[in-house]
Structure 1
Amino acid sequence: MHGWVIYNGHLATDAFLQFPRAIQEAGRRNNIPITLQANDQIPYQLDGQGISIKTDDLPDFVVFNDKDIALARTFEMLGIPLYNSAETIANCDNKVIMYQYLAKQKVPIPKTIIAPKVFSGINEFHRARYIQLAEQLSYPMVIKEGHGSFGEQVYLVKNHDEMLSLVETIKDRPFVFQEYIQSSYGRDIRLFVVGSKVVASLKRTSSHDFRANVYQGSTIEAYQPTEQEQALAIQASHAVGAHYAGVDLLFGADHQPIVCEVNTNAHIGNILQHTGINMADVIIHEIMTQQTD
């Protein structure tokens, strides 16, 4: 058995290669050779004969650490198992879709309203309609673009004027209006789920920003989640179909946890640093179990 780890060839920095290299090393410790492959270096084509990847040594499985969904689907169409699947990556790459899947499974999330589709280049802006949508919530509220990482493309707006100014800029992108969870200002927890188990957890805290993302300057510490928090993280991970995921939970006003996001490409370096748990080993063990079932 041998595998590949797919990473984005245009993001081949040490930070983005940390996960692929950790998976490769975990494979080595388990006598499973794993090759790192940049998404833009895989020669594949589609024609009247079907789909082909021009290599003599296709992997038995792929750990897909990228968002190149077309390439992910190509592997699956060739019968190669993916961790995570193309569908799961697509579900979580666009937060609009992610919240739909979470809501479908009745996972507790902030009240969310999906903005209507607007095509690029359209000059007409239905201000009144956006005001009507926003009035289903209260200010301040959060606006989240469908695509974004590290807490970017997430905005806190305090009134109609701020909302309309922002929407005018992003109206042709997928986004949602979302209830602001004041009780979780600058605080959240990330639980890393593998299979049906929470393996490690971190608490993230910011003193200057409503977002607790590390890239926004928060501090990190190991965290022991409650049984309720663990069950919710597992439910959220399963709702989007993930083999493994980083699930971010907010602290609700009534001390009830609320799912903020599910991340299929969550970085694992901070978990190792603050908990001593190497997530790559756990993921490889899960893959070995899946492959031998």
Structure 2
Amino acid sequence: MRIAILGNQESWYCEQLSQAAHSRGHDARKIEFRDLASLISGTAPEQCFSYDAAQNQIELNQFDCLIIRTMPPGSLEQVVFRMDLLGRLEQAGVTIFNSPRAIECAVDKYLTTSRLAAAGLPVPATAVCESSEAAMQHFETLGGDVVVKPLFGSEGRGIFRISDPDLAYRSFRTLERTQAVIYLQKYIPHPGYDLRILILNGNIIGAIRRHGMNDFRTNISRQGQAESYQPSDQEVELAVRAAELTQATFAGVDLLCPADAPENLSLLEVNAVPGWRGFQSATNIDVAALVIEYLEQKRNNRPTV
């Protein structure tokens, strides 16, 4: 297969996927979002490109698979163009992993939380608004102790906890001035850890328990510690269902067990571009190899036209 890996070329994850692909005899190329381009010329089929360091064109339509390993910040125009181009490649027959629809849902915390709640899955009490006045009302409604998250973001970046009304007001006013959407969740006291379950094609790859280091955030990227974990049937069922609802073939699902009622699980997040470095260290599971094997199976089972 010809495989394009869309992400930071220096990324550990991109390198792991590239090595896994090459070890199985595939051609893998690393590309970045900033180098994406499209050429639409008359009635000829649209051509989607990337560029290498020497500005040579790489024809993306010729690839079998494109693996998305990041979704960097950008203007509204840039984000819309990226997603549209990925959608056009998918329509042209290139396997996009995960699909653009899954990325669009999972990267948007509001859409993900709303969709999970509508399906009856347990999520923390959440409020989303644009004005600081509305945010202050929700701050009180949610008990005066909330976690503020960027609508788009991962790895715990930009997340903070507020329980002081004056600090909350100043924070919400700052977010309002920057034209950010204010996303609040009721803080759930927990025993210092959460769960990350990794899903591939509706099946569990494995799970870890992540412990925070003097921080309510447990992300491995923020010095959290991971240990292998055997999830319960309920935890697996919730994770698989959450991945299905976001249409993510490959997903990292985060679950939280409240300290006072560990049986009352909450779904915190569904990540459609999940990291697995800490997961792999704790479980010794070669995730990149499993991803490449899945893409091989998908290609071999693809119906002929």
Q: Give the TM-score band, short-chain normalised.
A: 0.7 to 0.9
Counterpart of 2:184 in structure 1 is 177
After superposition, where does 1:1-293 map in structure 2 within 5 Å? 1-7=1-7, 11-13=8-10, 17-46=11-40, 48-49=42-43, 51-54=46-49, 55=58, 58-67=62-71, 68-116=82-130, 127=133, 129-171=134-176, 172-184=179-191, 186-252=192-258, 253-255=260-262, 256-293=264-301
User: What displacement does 1:83 show?
Assistant: 0.8
Greater mean alpha carbon deviation, residues 106-115 or residues 282-291 = 282-291
| Partner Cα separation in structure 2 for residue 110 and residue 222 of structure 1 | 25
Q: Which runs of 5+ in 1 are unaligned?
A: 117-124
The answer on whether the counterparts of 1:141 and 1:180 sit within 8 Å (CA) in structure 2 is yes
- The one-character-per-residue Cα deviations of 1:47-103 (angstroms, maximum 9, x if unpaired) are 554632255571112112122434422322433221101111111222122212222
- SS of the aligned residue for 1:182 comes to coil
| Partner Cα separation in structure 2 for residue 286 and residue 96 of structure 1 | 30
Greater mean alpha carbon deviation, residues 63-72 or residues 245-254 = 63-72
User: What displacement does 1:276 show?
Assistant: 0.8
User: What displacement does 1:235 show?
Assistant: 1.1
Amino acid at match of 1:110: P
| Partner Cα separation in structure 1 for residue 159 and residue 84 of structure 2 | 26
Q: For the aligned residues, what is the CA RMSD?
A: 2.1
| Partner Cα separation in structure 2 for residue 169 and residue 111 of structure 1 | 23
Aligned sequence identity (%): 22
User: What displacement does 1:3 show?
Assistant: 2.0
User: What displacement does 1:285 show?
Assistant: 2.2
| Partner Cα separation in structure 2 for residue 270 and residue 285 of structure 1 | 21
TM-score scaled to structure 1, two decimals? 0.86
Amino acid at match of 2:46: I
| Partner Cα separation in structure 2 for residue 207 and residue 270 of structure 1 | 14
The answer on whether the counterparts of 2:48 and 2:85 sit within 8 Å (CA) in structure 1 is no
Structure 1 residues 225, 47: closer, same or farther in 2, change over 3 A?
Answer: same
User: What displacement does 1:244 show?
Assistant: 0.4
Amino acid at match of 1:276: N
